[in-house]
Structure 1
């Protein structure tokens, strides 16, 4: 229970799932907790010397500790700047009153220099002006108390020793100020590098997983497995790709596939589909997941037609005598993350098997679809009936060739598509 309460205090006001830099807020909560802890350690000493202004110091500790408990509460309500300023004011007031109560040089003022060093950790780069004012204020408070103690107390040191003592104190304070400035610059530089690396890792993750799945994976380590009652799957494969490999150098082959798949990526993105994976010269796309869409079948058909046209242009450009086989299937799908290393977002189910068979049993330059896909999209496209084919593992199934768009795809067409 104590550990849970401690974690709640430290992470108060921080969204762990956010990509924002939350270090200043977390450090504010930690420093408030440390101030309460250090102040509490003084309670036995204060009680022991209760006759010598002990009651005043005990009251100061109780009031300060009580006020500091508001710091994480302010952060929880997103009052981040107010929380930092409140912490600084309570801390400065506590040290100031402690010095005034004692009326003698007990080196309590050196806690002001501690604040000079810590302040850079509390503020973001956009708050550097305010940070500089507060840091300079702590520095001046320290110097002011040094001179006040020097003039208000009886000194047994020689004049030369007094000058050396004061100059050393001021030099030490200046060193802390410069160290605070240097720490500030290092922190800003490291935060910028961290932000760049975070953005880079986010982009890499989004290249592997759908954005919604990537966000879920970051928020929770739980297994991701979703069921979709109706989705569309598209498989595209280059005809006679293996013989083609023999005529191309490794660099030419990779450049060709990269060009083809980059074009396919743009088409997939254009129609709001989700690229699942590539396998050699195969390309797999899904519609209606991970975000459910009623127009998944139409989107896949549009994507397939554009892929055929784009691949014909690439073949003409590179003088290639090949074509594309595309298969589309609709049905139930299970989607999830598999693996611990090099994990991937993959699909299983009826639609996947159907689409795979549509592609493998298809013909070059043709788009073969299942009867369910035909029934959903027949008002939007022209089809030629192929008839029944025997698909491995599925038996005899009716299939159709997708020929072209029937008319401009718009709201009239998509309204007719409903989830089964």
Structure 2
């Protein structure tokens, strides 16, 4: 668990039945140490760990598993005919919210983080398989090699083969490991084997009608990042290898605390002005574009990019005209090229190509700002907020290492942003 609450649940012997119930054997609850707001090392309360584990299953649209003494006796009927996956499997479900670019980017960036830092979470190696159950998202979204679902999945998974299952069962697969869809990239040995189960009610399409459950020897369940795309070194959980064994004497615990504090300082010094995942994530996404973005790291140009909103939370026409005229004057004064971009009219690849050379980006708060995280390091984001509303989602470019300024629209007689009360309640929660 990170300082801000991102979490990863790792379990042995998890079985998911076709009816949606799940089962596991009793296993010790090991809750990783993290650093508190003051910077001191702390062990989260057991109750917090249990809640995070429950949250992981709720995020997957599954009830928390029933703990049984034997998987082949107490729940024999549910697990009578099961498919077993060996090794370590990253298991993720995506519901309707993942049609939103911001939500989906969060899921993929966090999965990327877990795969890159597997050892931090007690894994012996990078998981060899990723299983993604997709509910409520149309198949073409994942089958379009130019769409953001395919591009970000390729970037997060690390280049391994991607296998689609339109109608169950997903397991057993026709071939092990699957060759994947050549149109979507990926090669055997390039990364974990990815199985995307489309049009799925979470688990009903994972196994054949004659099978009753899918059992995973070891499963990794990433939760969702909290208001950012990357976890800075100051917030990372302590790697499992640095944790003292349960019941260790005080002097061993004291040494572990000193070792963890040293590790944290080293990570923060090496990180620089952006979280360690930010730069390689950008490179992975650029390489996953069709065609790939070539030329290495994007070079910042004297470019001011204004991201227009055309529907919700947009300026009215007279105000929009005044805003664009203001930006034209600013660009002329500072010898900048002005780009006015409406992401709703261009493909995901074109969206990224419109920001990779920007020095300054300006836009109204919302999902249209997600792609600013692909701007060059050192670029500056100016976020415009409706009256009486603010949010920390895009501070530092979503913790991607950008400069950042927030501007609130406050004019006499202006009405509050529609839906303000609901958003305030969400932020308090």
Q: Normalising by the residue count of structure 1, what TM-score does the alignment of the two structures yield?
A: 0.22
Q: Hey, which of these two has a bigger chunk of helix by percent? A: 1
TM-score when normalising by structure 2: 0.22
Rg bigger for which structure? 1
Between 1 and 2, higher relative CO (CA 8 Å, sep ≥ 6) is seen in 2
